[in-house]
Structure 1
Amino acid sequence: MTAPLDAPESAQHAEPEAIARGRRDTESRSLTQIAWRRLRQDRVALGGGAFVALLILVAVFAPLLTAWFGHPPNQFHQDLIDPATQGVLKDPDDPWSGIDPTGGMSAEHLLGLEPVNGRDLFSRIVYGARISLLVAFLSTLLCVVIGTVLGIVAGYLGGWVDTVISRAMDIFLAFPLLLFAIALAGVIPDDAFGLSDNALRIAVLVFIIGFFSWPYIGRIVRGQTLSLREREFVEAARSMGAGTGYILFREILPNLVAPILVYATLLIPTNILFEAALSFLGVGVNPPTPTWGGMLSESLAYYTVAPHFVIIPGLAIFVTVLAFNLFGDGLRDAFDPRSSD
């Protein structure tokens, strides 16, 4: 009769020990370690992150890739184009062979050729990734810096400083950004601030996107700062005589890294789409420099004879934005304190 009573008693002793051991294991890991463990379990987010890393490598090594697998992005191959339909010939040696439905895809031209000029699509897609990622990363960095500084100052100081910054956020959020970008980009001079041509246009695009998008992250940082400024570690630093700058950037800011990183990851695909939209409207980077949005704009007149010319740059934008969004969602779930470990 004693054995059945002993088993539940041992289980009752074992269960609290297991709970305590699990609690100690969780407490011994930092937030970054916990987030990384959660992220490794999310296969979809890891897939998105792997594609993003691959895309960055492709953009960095674009000249090497085009030398191996393609041609210079602005090299014409008009001998492969049908002069009547402007499509890619099935057989360049036979002008009556008709239009190639694959757009000239082969071992020499992996993604085919553009109509009219016959430029290599693989090379232009690879170089277009450089422009999209450069504008997106730089504008996101500018947005994060401005939004973080103003958001943390507004949330911590409060009072009239918070009122002024918050009203500025409302004004910027109500600003017609797309119309302003079209108007400003359309009147850019040839030379200004020591820059010229596309370097100047890229700098202006980065300024427009980053400077007018900071309120989105500024609101998030302000809200987090409002709760963090009442925490014990801030009160302890204040009681020890720490200055405002030290508290803001040495005590509060490290606790904002996770939400800032997550939101920045989700903001990058938005900026990629914005740059593509401006290039599509003809106010982005000047041709012949390849951009995904510019390629889409050029392809609309030839979708009947070269459907691949529409599909490939559109698919590049779609897959890139999707990968960033999946990776950003995974980061958000990994850093969420309410998520189960």
Structure 2
Amino acid sequence: MTTPLDVTGSAAEAQPEAVLSGMGEAIQGRSLGQIAWMRFKRDKVAVAGGIVVICLMLLAVLSKPIEWVFNLDPNAFHQNLIDPILLRPKGALGGISWDHPLGVEPQFGRDLLARIVEGAWVSLAVAFGATILSVAIGTVMGVIAGYYGGWIDTVISRLMDIFLAFPLLLFAIALSASLQGGAFGLHGLTLHISVLIFVIGFFNWPYMGRIIRGQTLSLREREFIDAARSLGARGPYILFKEMLPNLVAPIIVYSTLLIPTNILFEAGLSFLGVGIQPPQASWGGMLSQAVGLYQADPEFMIVPGLAIFITVLAFNLLGDGLRDALDPRSN
């Protein structure tokens, strides 16, 4: 005869649900995006970099309304603020006043704040456009090379080597100089921005392509890829539906690190006189104009230099934070 069940125990022993009901809210699962966001928020330096990047993007997008609201004219001359003998801003502060918070440039007297605001959208437009172009080409070529392998991988890899060995600076100088008048129905500022985006973006895609190729070589041996093949999925479906979603993290991280590189390259071309042409303001162009005038007014070189420095630093800090937050091996 079996022993009857003991029904005299506590309610917690008889009903496990009672124990769970006293433990508060149920444990909720967190997605990979939520985990990455929690990691990113803990990195205060990266958050600060992200805030600066957002402010710079808003400044670039809203540069024209800002100029209109605050009556900023980047090409307005203020000769009354320039000493006619020394050809430098009057006063000891480089022309700084309530009307000109950052002062004015030597010789012409144009407002530095207005030119910094105007140059923000030019520099960031070139950097973002070139980054989008290089990321798009590099991602497609890297995924194809890493997934198919064989002779396709060999051809694309050798093509990357050719592009990496190409004298990009000399080509950019020659192309920009030869297209000063107009080409492809474009003229003036639109032509210069388009040429810079093409030159910087098209010849920098191998950097992204190599990273994506290495990631793809690892992903193609994973179980979910084998499962997709066993279900009859073909190459294009696996590339764009299975692999690309798993490559979003490295693409985002490297893009944030590629943008400051493109900003510096655009500034360098403008500094050499083959980028954005005056009177259009750009940060690199302002530095180029300040080379012969920094002794008269050092602030004319410091202001655009700080703008480039802060922008590049903010993007690099944001990229480092995103890399740590999206890395599944990080704590």
* Counterpart among 279, 286, 290 of residue 288 in structure 1: 279
* Counterpart among 146, 151, 155 of residue 137 in structure 2: 146
Q: Paired residue for 1:86? A: 87
* Counterpart among 234, 240, 243 of residue 249 in structure 1: 240
* Counterpart among 165, 168, 183 of residue 159 in structure 2: 168
Task: Give the counterpart letter for 1:139 in structure 2.
Answer: A
* Counterpart among 310, 314, 321 of residue 319 in structure 1: 310
Q: Paired residue for 1:71? A: 72
Root mean square deviation of aligned Cα? 1.5
CA shift at 1:106, angstroms? 1.2
| Partners of 1:40 and 1:250 in 2: CA distance | 30
1:331 aligns with 2:322: yes
Change (3 A) 1:120 1:70: farther
CA shift at 1:301, angstroms? 1.4
1:221 aligns with 2:221: no
Q: Paired residue for 1:11? A: none
| Partners of 2:201 and 2:31 in 1: CA distance | 32
Change (3 A) 1:125 1:189: closer
For the Cα contact (< 8 Å) 1:172–1:215, is it kept in 2? Answer: yes
For the Cα contact (< 8 Å) 1:69–1:108, is it kept in 2? Answer: no
Q: Specify the SS of the correspondent of 1:302.
A: coil
| Partners of 1:71 and 1:241 in 2: CA distance | 62
Question: Equivalent residues in 2 for 1:1-341 (5 A)?
Answer: 28-69=29-70, 71-89=72-90, 100-340=91-331
| Partners of 2:88 and 2:78 in 1: CA distance | 12
Q: Specify the SS of the correspondent of 2:133.
A: helix
Change (3 A) 1:101 1:68: farther
Change (3 A) 1:189 1:316: closer
| Partners of 1:56 and 1:140 in 2: CA distance | 15
The TM-score normalised by the length of structure 2 is 0.90
The TM-score normalised by the length of structure 1 is 0.87
For the Cα contact (< 8 Å) 1:101–1:306, is it kept in 2? Answer: no
Identity %, equivalent residues:
63
Q: Specify the SS of the correspondent of 1:192.
A: coil
Structure 2, gaps ≥5 residues long: 1-25
| Partners of 2:64 and 2:189 in 1: CA distance | 18
CA shift at 1:66, angstroms? 2.3
Task: Give the counterpart letter for 1:35 in structure 2.
Answer: A
CA shift at 1:84, angstroms? 1.0
CA shift at 1:103, angstroms? 1.2
Q: Specify the SS of the correspondent of 1:186.
A: helix
Task: Give the counterpart letter for 1:120 in structure 2.
Answer: D
